[in-house]
Chains A and B, each alone.
Chain A
Amino acid sequence: MRNKSFLSKIFIMFVLSGILIVAGCSSNDGGDSGATSDQTVVDVFQFKVEFKDQFENLVAQYQEENPDIKINVQTVGGGNDYAASLKSSFAAGNEPDIFNVGGPTEVEEYREYLTDLSDTGAAEAALEGTLSGVTDGDEILGLPYSQEGYGYIYNKEIFNQAGINAEELTTYEALEEAFATLDSQKEELGLDAVIALPAKELWVMGNHLANTYIASDFNDDILEAYEAGTIPFSKSDELQRMLDLQNEYSVQPVLSLDYSQQVEQLFSTGKVALIQQGNWIYPTVEQMDADFAENGIGMIPIPVDGLEGHLPVGVPQYWVVNSNADDATQQAAKDFLDWMYTSDAGKELVLNEFKFIPAYEGYDTEQISDPLSQDVYKHASEGNTIGWVFMASPVGWQEDSLAVGMQRYLSGDITWEQVIEQSRADWENSRK
C-alpha cells in the first residue's frame, strides 16, 4: 500500500511537470511576430537606442520593397547592457542573424559566428581605414555603422566675445593662453568656469582623452594596438599636461561631474566655454537649444605636438551577420545591409534620418546636416585624423585601469608616474 501511494505521488508529479512544460512552450507560438511561411525572417539585434525609431522606419520601407523578407528589430541600449543581452541570447541558443560588435576584441570573441562580408557592395564602398578593426586575412567580418569624432566643442559666441579665434588654437601653448584669457573674463562672459571635465565618466578620460596621446604609439592602427604586448606611453607627459590643464580650469569637483551635467547643465546653457566631447552630443544640445546647436557650436582638435589639426575619428560599432543562420537568411541579411548603405533610398535615410557621418563612398556630403558632423567629416576626408586605438586595448583596460588611475591622480591619491606604471603593467598582464 505504501509503495503504491509513493508511486502515485511520483506519477502525479510528472504529470504536473508535463503540464507546466507544455503550458510554458505553447505560449511561445507566434514569437516571430506573424511571419508567413514563404518569408525569410531576419532577426536584428542592435544597440543604438538613439536611432531606434528611424531605423525601424528604414526597415519598414525595406519590407515594403521586399515583401518576401521579414525583419524583426530588437534594440537594447547602452554599452554594457547590449553586450550582456547579446551574450545571454547566444547562450540561450536564441541567436540573432544580424548584430553589432565594437572592435577587434569582440570580433575575436564571436569569431566563429561571423560571416565573411567581403562580397557585399557595402564592404567595397567602405572608406579606407574603416574596416581595419574587422578584417581577418582576406575576410571582412563587419560593416561600419558610421564615423564619429571628438575634440573640443566650443561656444562660438563666448569665444568671439573673448576675442579668441578657435581655429588658431592648434598648439598646447595657444590653448593654455586661451584658457587663461577666458578665465580672466569669467564674470563678463557669465561663465562658471572655462571647461567642464567630467572625471566621473571613465570613458571621457580613459577612452577619448588618453587615446589622443597614445594613438601614435601604435601608428594609429587598431590592429597594431590589438597585437601590442605593451604600451610605450611616449606622449604621457603631454597627456598629463592636458589633464592638468582641464582640471585646473574646470568646474569643481570634477570627480562627481558627469556627462549630463557637462553637456546639458553646463555647456548647453553657456556656463562653460568649451568641453571635450564628440559629434554625438549634437541631438542633446539640439533638444536643449536648437538655434545654439545649429549656429553656435564648432569643434577643434585636441592639440597634440606634431599632429596639429588632427582629429580623432573612428567607427563606433560594426554590423555583423551570424554564420550559423541558414544560407537564405544570410543572403537576406547581406542584401538588407547593402540596401541600407548603398541604395539611393537607403543613403538618403542614413544621411538625413540617422544623421550619420557616412563611412562609405558615394554620399552627397553636402547634406550632412549638423556643424559638428561637418567638422568631423572635413577632417576625415582630408585624412587629418588620429585613429581610435582604444577600440583595441585589452578589455576594460581603458576604463578600469587607466581612467581609474587618472581619477586617483586627480584626487591626489597617487602620482602620475604611478598611473602610467600601473596601467602599463595591467596592459602587459592581460596581453601575456
Chain B
Amino acid sequence: MNEVWFMENIFERVEVLVLKNRSLSFWLFVTPTLLALGLVVFVPFIYGFIFSFTDWNGLRATQFLGMEHYINLFQDREFLNSIWFTIKFAVVSIILVNVIGLGLALLVTQKMKSSNILRTVFFMPNLIGGLILGFIWQFIFISAFDSVGSLLGIEWLQGWLSTTGTGFWGLVILNTWQYGGYIMIIYIAYLEGVPGELIEAAEIDGANPFQRFWNVTFPLIAPAFTISLFLTLSNAFKLYDQNLALTGGGPYNSTQMVAMDIYNTAFSDYNMAYAQAKAVIFFILVAAVALTQVYYNKKREVDL
C-alpha cells in the first residue's frame, strides 16, 4: 500500500519541501535517499536523454545526430502501432479494472460472513508474478478455451491469441484479473471510511440504495478514484512482463506494447540511441497523461 500512501501525500510533501524552511535533522534524513534516487533515477535519465540525440550503440557514441531519431520516430509504423495499441489497451483496461475493483469492494464491504476470505481470494492474483501469470493464462486461452470451444462447438473460444483481436482481449482479461483485487483494496479502505451516520441520514430522508451510493458514497470516495486511476493508468502504460509472457507481441508484432517495442529496439536490434528516443517520447506521453489526470481529479475532489 506504499504507493497509495505516496500518492496521497505527494502533493503535500512537495509543498512542504519547497515552501517551508527545514531543520538540520530534516536534511540529515532526506539526503541519503535523495542522493540514492538521484544516482539511480535522475542521472541515468539525463544520460538517456542526451544519448537519444547521438548514435550511441550501448558501447560508444561517435556522432551527434540532433533530432534525426525523433523525426524517424514519427514515420516508424511499428512504433506508432504500438503506441496506438497501448492507448487502446490502457483505456479499456483502466475502465474495466476500476469498475470491477469497485464492484468487488462494494461486494466485500457488505455484511457477509465470507467477506474476509473473499478479500484474500480477490487479492491473491496480485501476488503472482506477471510472467508466471502470463504463462498460466496463455495455457488457459490456448488449451483450455480451445478444449471447451471444440467440445461445445463454440467457435469464438477457439484459436485465441492467434489473432490481434484475441491477443488484445487476452491481455485485457489478464490485466483486469490481476489488478482488480489490488484496486479493490484501495476502494475498501475508502468505503470503510464513509461515516455510517451519513448513509443512515440519507436512508431516513428516503433515498433508495442507488441514490445513497451515487449521491453520498461516491463523492466521499473520490480520492480513491484519483489514486486508482493513477495506478491503473501508469500500470497499463508500462505493462511489459504480462505482454511478453502472454503474446510475446505476436502475431506479427501487432500486440506489442510500447515498453516491449522499446526493449526490442534496444536489445534485439541493438538500436540503443533510437530506443532511447522512443523512451523519451514514451516518458513525455505517460507523464502528460498521468499529470493531467491527477490534476483534474484533484480539482474534482475539491469541487465535490
A residues with a Cβ closer than 8 A to B are 5, 8-9, 12-13, 16-17, 20, 79-80, 83-84, 87-88, 90-91, 109-110, 199-200, 202, 252-256, 261, 395-396, 399-400, 404-405, 407-408, 411, 413
Q: Which residues of B contact A200 (CB under 8 A)?
A: 248, 250-251
Distance of A54 Cα from B174 Cα, bound (Å):
39
Q: Which residue of B lies closest to A12 (CB)?
A: B28
Distance between B173 CB and nearest chain A CB, rounded to angstroms:
15
Beta-carbon contact of A109 and B162 below 8 Å? no
Interface of chain B, helix or strand or loop or mixed? loop
- Judge whether B252 is part of the interface by a CB distance below 8 angstroms: yes
Q: Which residue of B lies closest to A397 (CB)?
A: B269
Beta-carbon contact of A12 and B268 below 8 Å? no
Q: Which residues of B contact A255 (CB under 8 A)?
A: 161-163, 250-251
Q: Which residue of B lies closest to A9 (CB)?
A: B27
Q: Which residues of B contact A411 (CB under 8 A)?
A: 162-163, 251-252
Q: Which residues of A contact B253 (CB under 8 A)?
A: 400, 404
- Judge whether B217 is part of the interface by a CB distance below 8 angstroms: no
Beta-carbon contact of A395 and B269 below 8 Å? yes
Stretch at the interface among B29-37, B88-96, B296-304: B29-37
Beta-carbon contact of A252 and B58 below 8 Å? no
Beta-carbon contact of A407 and B35 below 8 Å? no
Q: Which residues of B contact A256 (CB under 8 A)?
A: 142, 159-162, 250-251
Residue from B161, B251, B264 with most neighbouring chain A CB atoms (10 Å): B251
Answer whether A20 and B250 are a contact pair too, CB < 8 Å, given A8-B24, A396-B269: no
- Judge whether B267 is part of the interface by a CB distance below 8 angstroms: yes
From A84, A252, A407, B251 is in contact (CB under 8 Å) with A407
- Tally A-B pairs: CB < 8 A: 89
Q: Which residues of A contact B36 (CB under 8 A)?
A: 20
Distance of A17 Cα from B32 Cα, bound (Å):
7
Q: Which residues of B contact A199 (CB under 8 A)?
A: 251
Q: Which residues of B contact A12 (CB under 8 A)?
A: 24, 27-28, 31
> Binary interface profile of B, 242-274, with partner A (CB < 8 Å = 1, else 0)?
000000101111000000000010111111000
B residues with a Cβ closer than 8 A to A are 24, 27-28, 31-32, 35-36, 57-59, 142, 158-163, 248, 250-253, 264, 266-271
Beta-carbon contact of A400 and B142 below 8 Å? no
Question: Could you list 16 examples of A-B contacts with CB < 8 Å?
Answer: A13-B31, A17-B31, A79-B268, A80-B268, A83-B268, A87-B58, A90-B58, A90-B59, A252-B159, A255-B163, A256-B160, A395-B271, A396-B264, A396-B270, A407-B250, A407-B251
Distance between A1 CB and nearest chain B CB, rounded to angstroms:
13
From B35, B158, B161, B270, A17 is in contact (CB under 8 Å) with B35
Beta-carbon contact of B163 and A83 below 8 Å? no
- Top 10 nearest A-B pairs (CB, nearest first) are A253-B162, A255-B162, A256-B162, A407-B252, A396-B269, A253-B159, A256-B161, A255-B251, A87-B58, A84-B267
Q: Which residues of A contact B270 (CB under 8 A)?
A: 83, 109, 395-396
Distance of A404 Cα from B164 Cα, bound (Å):
13
Answer whether A404 and B28 are a contact pair too, CB < 8 Å, given A17-B35, A87-B59, A91-B58: no
Distance between B60 CB and nearest chain A CB, rounded to angstroms:
9
Distance of A408 Cα from B163 Cα, bound (Å):
10
Q: Which residue of B lies closest to A407 (CB)?
A: B252
Distance of A223 Cα from B3 Cα, bound (Å):
53
Beta-carbon contact of B251 and A13 below 8 Å? no
Q: Which residue of B lies closest to A13 (CB)?
A: B31
Q: Which residues of B contact A395 (CB under 8 A)?
A: 268-271
Distance of A419 Cα from B270 Cα, bound (Å):
24
Q: Which residues of B contact A8 (CB under 8 A)?
A: 24
Distance of A90 Cα from B270 Cα, bound (Å):
14
Q: Which residue of A lies closest to B252 (CB)?
A: A407
Q: Which residue of B lies closest to A86 (CB)?
A: B58
Distance of A255 Cα from B27 Cα, bound (Å):
57
From A9, A80, A91, B59 is in contact (CB under 8 Å) with A91
- Further contacts, 12 of them, CB under 8 A, given A84-B267, A396-B264: A16-B28, A16-B31, A109-B59, A252-B159, A256-B160, A396-B268, A396-B269, A399-B268, A400-B253, A405-B252, A407-B251, A408-B251
Residue from A87, A110, A254 with most neighbouring chain B CB atoms (10 Å): A87
Distance between A96 CB and nearest chain B CB, rounded to angstroms:
14
Distance of A177 Cα from B38 Cα, bound (Å):
67
Distance of A261 Cα from B146 Cα, bound (Å):
14
Q: Which residues of A contact B31 (CB under 8 A)?
A: 12-13, 16-17
Distance of A187 Cα from B241 Cα, bound (Å):
40
Beta-carbon contact of A9 and B267 below 8 Å? no
